[in-house]
A = this chain, B = another copy of it.
Amino acid sequence: MSKCIFCKIANGQMPAHIRYEDDEVVAFDDINPKAPFHVLIVPKKHLKNLNDTAKIDQDLLGHLLLIAQKVAEEAKIADNGYKIVINNGKESGQLVDHLHLHLLGGKLLARMAV
């Protein structure tokens, strides 16, 4: 059985505040939010980060971005604005070795990095 916490959330073994779910993707609140709205968009397939993806994952990667947009719209932060951040590898700040998109919004984010 996987020890990956995002795999456990994806298969229901670990609780989370789920915002969206389908066969390929789950989106849930970050437990340590860095903004008023901070959701993680996670593929159910275990991929370590973008370095672990290939052409076969193109549809899934596009789907992750479309779901991020959908979650932002449903949370009513899409018009004001939101950031997507994907950390890959140890110098990036990636804390969980399962590909995830941070969706951040709900306040002025312009000065957070780029």
A: residues with CB less than 8 A from B are 34, 38, 50-51, 53-55, 57-63, 65-66, 68-69, 72-73, 78-94, 102, 104-105, 107-114
Contacts and interface: CB of A to CB of B under 8 A. Distances in A.
Given A55-B66, A61-B65, A92 B82 contact: yes
A89 B80 contact: yes
B89 A114 contact: no
Contact of A87 (B58, B66, B81, B88): B81
A110 B91 contact: yes
Contacts of A94: 81
Within the oligomer, what is the number of copies of this chain?
Answer: 2
Which secondary structure dominates chain A's binding surface? mixed
Nearest to A35: B114
A84 B93 contact: no
Nearest to A110: B93
A90 B85 contact: no
A93 B83 contact: yes
